[in-house]
Chains A and B, each alone.
Chain A
């Protein structure tokens, strides 16, 4: 079974440009999360989709970031316009629905390393 896949693995763009990151979750996983790790610091939550709906977007830094999950399958995260501080590794994760009171494990993709110069 394929894991969580992210495209591209690396992206180098100039300040002011637009970049779109893509995440394909594990098939059947309704929950999709975006996280970001900046400069070797902690991995920070950005937002959470349940199917196509945004369940929680409290971690989105500002309105230059736009996440979509049309049809409840893959998701995109667009940064427009990119700033230097947006550089970091963007991780996507997915999980099944929580069942019978049990938390379910989140599976992470390999991440997209974004460098804004």
Chain B
């Protein structure tokens, strides 16, 4: 039973436009959400996170939106750049586990930014 779902396996966006990656979760215990970016033959790299007490977190070109009632989050990248082409993983964890928590990942969305 997949608790974190990324229903779009791939996305293609033109350079300069906005990329929107979506993620849904089912476990109400999740209180902290992260996006990781992964290039081929490399490990996932942390991109941005959001706590459930917020509905938006912004870091440069990257913004994560959280809709707790819908159990949905999204990552916006604007403007998209060719170097953003990678696989993006949504991940979630419960907040109050005392240490950096075990993460539950989605299956990833492959973003291709075209020229």
Query: What residues make up the interface of A, taking CB atoms closer than 8 Å to B?
Result: 4, 30-31, 33, 35, 40-45, 48, 50, 55-56, 59, 91, 93, 95-98, 103-111
Report the tally of A-B residue pairs with Cβ distances under 8 A.
Answer: 70
DSSP class of B's interface residues: helix, strand, loop or mixed?
A: loop
A-B contact pairs, 17 of them (CB 8 A): A4-B43, A30-B99, A35-B103, A35-B105, A40-B107, A40-B108, A43-B91, A45-B102, A50-B99, A95-B99, A98-B100, A103-B32, A103-B49, A105-B46, A105-B49, A106-B100, A110-B43
10 A-B pairs closest in CB distance? A108-B43, A95-B100, A43-B105, A104-B100, A45-B102, A42-B107, A98-B99, A42-B105, A105-B46, A108-B44
- CA gap between A109 and B44 in the complex, in Å: 8
Is there a chain A Cβ closer than 8 Å to B42's Cβ?
A: yes
